[in-house]
């Protein structure tokens, strides 16, 4: 007979939050919407909402979807990811630092770390009535932090037993042993106790999802499916995987072995949005009081953005042959061998890869002497309007000026937007056919390169789209351009 674990009634409260309809394509959607939001100037709430809704409708595949789907997206993106800040009192909405950060840095792994670092209960991503219930119960809960602490404690327990295994957690275990138990979400049950409880349940072969358990019933008295019951814990675990905080194997999540710095920061985190603190202790906080805090919540989330934190170690995205690049050149050593073995920014790794690509291209085309002259020219103090000074590879020894635009993500990316500064656009106009944008997209499974020669002419001939905004917001259709093989040179 199966044995099921059931959270005692007095400690049961189902944690839930907005679940985006686009979760299966979340990386592409967020890159696209961050870029689109950055095209909208601060304006009154209605005008911003109209421009924002239009952008959602124009996402590939959305032209024919129902208005309800568009409305859901319109609610879900800002609620979860704070892509804009809406001040209804003064009737003004502006694009947030969160959206600007993702659009500028193009680092989804780092972006999701920031998202998870601030994501908490209660929070402005919830409706006032839901926050009211959380406050009444005394819940103060940061999911990613708690999961990491439980996994760390589990590793300590297993190490002490000498079994040589890593602690893991499933969405089911996270739901029943963490998310829906107020002893955990109010801080009464500590991470080590949770880890011990999970391991003991495994030893005793305790099951979790039981359709006969009244806690699984919906408002109509029908049992929810296992997927419905575990979806919220599952979402957070999936976001943690995108953030490279955990790895997944056979439905179980383990701490990522190469993210010790980020994991330590999450585990020791003491930050918490305190805008609701004066409402604790009231039998039922007034909804208006909670609503009034919402704008402060989104300001808090955006204020926490610090581009110097959670830098992605791009070397794990590269294969062994590509890693040869980092062994030879002093400039590339500087990029990859920083104090914490991470790149200074996503742009540096893109420059390093394209540097290797250009050296290989010129060598293969019979210009080894020119290959020696390729150089990375951009620096913190000097911005010539391009990143790499290379050569066309012809008898005239003409230069090729290359601006590298790099995006990284755990999954394959299919968004082709990027930003060019006013200086870059001006230099492109000067050098014309000898100025190229190398659009590089890196994921753990794919490395895609498109070369856009003479972007100003491409714009004038309608081959690409360009919208003025502190330079140009560029977008192009991949079907109009051929992929270029990313080359590496051998020693």
Per-residue pLDDT, 490: 54
Omega of the bond leading into 175 within 30 degrees of 0 (cis): no
326 pLDDT band (50/70/90 cuts)?
Answer: very low
Q: The pTM is what? A: 0.75
489 pLDDT band (50/70/90 cuts)?
Answer: low
**10 Å Cβ neighbour count for 399?**
16
Q: What is the DSSP letter of 389?
A: E
Percent of the chain topping pLDDT 90: 65
Calpha distance 209→4 (Å, rounded)? 7
Tokens of 6: 């059931």
The answer on pLDDT for 340 being more than 70 is no
Task: Kindly state the average pLDDT of the residues 54-72.
Answer: 89
Task: Kindly state the average pLDDT of the residues 59-64.
Answer: 82
The answer on pLDDT for 331 being more than 70 is no
The answer on pLDDT for 239 being more than 70 is yes
150 pLDDT band (50/70/90 cuts)?
Answer: very high
Q: Are 471 and 456 in contact (CB under 8 A)?
A: no
317 pLDDT band (50/70/90 cuts)?
Answer: low
**Cα radius of gyration rounded to whole Å, the chain:** 25
The answer on pLDDT for 435 being more than 50 is yes
Calpha distance 353→486 (Å, rounded)? 8
Q: Are 357 and 449 in contact (CB under 8 A)?
A: yes
Q: From the centroid of its chain, how far is CA 475?
A: 20
**The three-state (H, E, C) secondary structure of 93-152, written as one string:** EEECHHHHHHHHHCEHHHHHHHHHHHCCECCCCCCHHHHHHHHHHCCCECHHHHHHHHHH
Per-residue pLDDT, 413: 75
324 pLDDT band (50/70/90 cuts)?
Answer: very low
Per-residue pLDDT, 379: 59
The answer on pLDDT for 308 being more than 90 is no
Per-residue pLDDT, 64: 83
Task: Kindly state the average pLDDT of the residues 373-378.
Answer: 84
Each residue of 448-470: pLDDT tens digit? Answer: 999 999 999 999 999 999 988 88
Per-residue pLDDT, 332: 32
353 pLDDT band (50/70/90 cuts)?
Answer: confident
Beta strands in 240-330 (DSSP E): 246-249, 252-255
The answer on pLDDT for 442 being more than 90 is no
Please report, for residues 28, 36, 45, 52, 472, the alpha-carbon distance to residue 57 in angstroms, rounded to integers and kept in the order given.
15, 11, 18, 9, 22
The answer on pLDDT for 378 being more than 80 is no
Task: Kindly state the average pLDDT of the residues 429-447.
Answer: 89
Per-residue pLDDT, 447: 83
Each residue of 253-293: pLDDT tens digit? Answer: 999 988 999 999 999 999 999 999 999 987 777 898 999 99
User: Within 13 A of 358's CA, how many CA atoms are on the CB side?
Assistant: 30
Task: Name residues whose C-beta falls within 8 Å of residue 8's C-beta, 6 or more positions apart in sequence.
Answer: none
SS3 label, residue 376 = strand
Per-residue pLDDT, 330: 40
Segment among 162-166, 361-365, 421-425 with least mean pLDDT: 162-166
Each residue of 5-54: pLDDT tens digit? Answer: 999 999 999 999 998 888 888 988 999 999 999 999 999 999 999 999 99
Calpha distance 471→476 (Å, rounded)? 16
Higher pLDDT, 418 or 414: 418
Per-residue pLDDT, 314: 59
Per-residue pLDDT, 333: 37
Q: What is the mean pLDDT of the chain?
A: 88
Higher pLDDT, 487 or 199: 199
The answer on pLDDT for 321 being more than 60 is no
SS3 label, residue 372 = coil
Q: Are 246 and 237 in contact (CB under 8 A)?
A: yes
Per-residue pLDDT, 60: 76
Residue whose C-alpha is closest to residue 58's, from 354, 488, 477: 477
Per-residue pLDDT, 249: 93
Place of tokens 């690409």: 464
């Amino acid at each position: 007979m199966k044995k099921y674990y059931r959270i005692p009634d007095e400690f049961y409260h189902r944690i839930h939050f907005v679940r985006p309809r686009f979760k299966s394509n979340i990386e592409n959607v967020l890159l696209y919407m961050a870029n689109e939001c950055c095209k909208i100037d601060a304006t009154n709430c209605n005008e911003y909402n109209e421009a924002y809704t239009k952008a959602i409708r124009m996402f590939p595949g959305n032209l024919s979807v129902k208005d309800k789907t568009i409305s859901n997206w319109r609610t879900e993106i800002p609620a979860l990811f704070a892509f804009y800040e809406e001040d209804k009192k003064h009737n003004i909405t502006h694009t947030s630092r969160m959206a600007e950060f993702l659009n500028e840095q193009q680092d989804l792994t780092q972006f999701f770390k920031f998202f998870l670092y601030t994501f908490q209960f209660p929070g402005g991503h919830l409706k006032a009535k839901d926050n009211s219930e959380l406050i009444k119960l005394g819940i103060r809960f940061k999911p990613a932090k708690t999961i990491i602490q439980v996994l760390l404690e589990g590793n300590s327990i297993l190490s002490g037993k000498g079994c040589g295994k890593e602690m893991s957690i499933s969405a089911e275990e996270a739901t029943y042993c963490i998310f829906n138990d107020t002893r955990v979400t109010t801080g009464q049950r500590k991470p080590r106790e949770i880890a011990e409880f999970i391991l003991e349940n495994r030893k005793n072969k305790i099951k979790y999802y039981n359709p006969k358990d009244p806690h699984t019933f919906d408002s109509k008295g029908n049992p929810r499916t296992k997927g419905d019951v575990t979806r919220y814990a599952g979402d957070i675990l999936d976001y943690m995987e995108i953030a490279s905080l955990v790895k997944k194997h056979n439905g179980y999540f383990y701490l990522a072995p190469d993210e010790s710095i980020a994991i330590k920061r999450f585990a020791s985190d003491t930050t918490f949005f305190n805008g609701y603190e004066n409402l604790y202790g009231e039998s039922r906080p007034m909804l208006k009081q909670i609503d009034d805090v919402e704008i402060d919540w989104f300001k808090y989330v955006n204020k926490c953005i610090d581009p110097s934190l959670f830098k992605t170690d791009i070397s794990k995205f590269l294969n062994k042959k590509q890693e040869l690049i980092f062994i030879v050149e002093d400039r590339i050593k500087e990029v990859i061998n920083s104090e914490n073995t991470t790149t200074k920014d996503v742009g540096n790794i893109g420059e390093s890869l394209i540097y290797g690509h250009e050296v290989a291209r010129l060598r293969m085309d019979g210009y080894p002497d020119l290959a020696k002259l390729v150089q990375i020219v951009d620096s913190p103090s000097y911005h010539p309007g391009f990143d790499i000074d290379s050569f066309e590879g012809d008898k005239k020894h003409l230069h090729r000026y290359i601006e590298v635009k790099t995006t990284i993500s755990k999954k394959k990316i299919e968004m082709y937007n990027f930003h060019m500064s006013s200086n870059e656009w001006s230099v492109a106009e000067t050098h014309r056919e000898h100025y190229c944008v190398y659009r590089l997209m890196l994921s753990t499974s794919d490395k895609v390169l498109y070369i856009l020669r003479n972007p100003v002419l491409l714009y004038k001939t309608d081959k690409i789209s360009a919208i003025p905004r502190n330079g140009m917001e560029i977008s192009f259709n991949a079907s109009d351009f051929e992929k270029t093989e990313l080359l590496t040179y051998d020693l």
